[in-house]
Amino acid sequence: MMANQVFAPMLIIPNGLTDVSFYADAFDAKEIRRFSNDDSSIHVLELSLNGAIFHLHEQWESKLISPERAGASTVSVNIFVDDVDAVVAQAVAAGATITSPAQDFDYGYRQADIVDIYGHCWQIQKKT
């Protein structure tokens, strides 16, 4: 393994978006950098989620398409938080949908699953 490796997922969003405040509203994500198209829509947006980096990228003609276009998501972005219930409530208030409510599992985790407004799946969890 190479030193200083960082995992930074890239979520594909529909073309033409200018406002993705959902991530700030749902998860307190902070915008780091933005690359806009000529029409001011988002080309690439770099965000920080409590120090963890992730990117939003507009859809382009390749194997990377938005869940909206695919009709499903094949990945779940899993985040560890201090209070699963509070983060889920905040995400729902921002427009997310709960697909599995928060519950404690016998393997020592409290977890909930949500889908964001662009169709990306998230698992909100805490080791208990």
Nearest to 55 by CA among 126, 127, 6, 2: 6
In Å, how far are 76, 90, 106, 118, 127 from 109, measured between CA atoms? 16, 20, 7, 26, 4
The model's confidence at residue 91, banded by pLDDT at 50, 70 and 90, is very high
Write the pLDDT tens digit of every residue in 45-90: 999 999 999 999 999 877 788 999 899 998 999 999 999 999 999 9
- Residue 7, pLDDT score: 85
The model's pTM? 0.90
- Residue 1, pLDDT score: 54
User: In the predicted model, is pLDDT for residue 3 greater than 70?
Assistant: no
CA 112, 6, 113 angle in degrees (round to 5)? 10
Question: What architecture (CATH level 2) is domain 10-127?
Answer: Roll (3.10)
Distance CA 112, CA 101 (A): 5
Write the pLDDT tens digit of every residue in 21-46: 999 999 999 999 999 999 999 999 99
Query: Could you tell me the residue ranges of all domains in the chain?
Result: 10-127
CB atoms within 10 A of CB 2: 4
- Residue 103, pLDDT score: 98
Looking at the chain, how many residues does it have? 128
Distance CA 21, CA 74 (A): 23
Question: Which residues make Cβ contacts (< 8 Å) with residue 18, sequence separation at least 6?
Answer: 40, 41, 42
- Residue 48, pLDDT score: 97
- Residue 60, pLDDT score: 81
User: In the predicted model, is pLDDT for residue 2 greater than 70?
Assistant: no
Strands 42-49 and 52-58, bridge-based pairing: antiparallel
